[in-house]
Structure 1
Amino acid sequence: MEKYLEAGFLLKEIIIKEQHNCKTTGFWYKKSIQYNFFLIAHEYLFIFRKPNL
């Protein structure tokens, strides 16, 4: 996000998408611990617009 702001884009909106109906299986839980990553609970979508030139 910061790279786009530094390039002159303007942040219009931030959308947070929450994950529903996801089940953590034992397989993915063990892998997340083994390889040190988080299981996704939500995602961000940044909406930018070009500045008026």
Structure 2
Amino acid sequence: MQEQKPDKAGEGGHLIDEPDIGSGEKTPGEKETEEEVRKIPQRPPQPPQPPKP
């Protein structure tokens, strides 16, 4: 079972502090998602499989 993490919603800033949509700056949600994805262990590379007939 996955460990529950404390809710960080109260730590966020005001909505006015959010990046502009067209600026290319990542939102706090995007940054958090990338951080969680980096925690996933990478699978070792698999040799290419021959095509199935």
**TM-score between both structures, scaled by the size of structure 2:** 0.29
Higher strand content, 1 or 2: 1
Higher helix content, 1 or 2: 2
Which structure has more RCO (C-alpha within 8 Å, separation ≥ 6)? 1
**TM-score between both structures, scaled by the size of structure 1:** 0.29
Bigger Cα Rg: 2
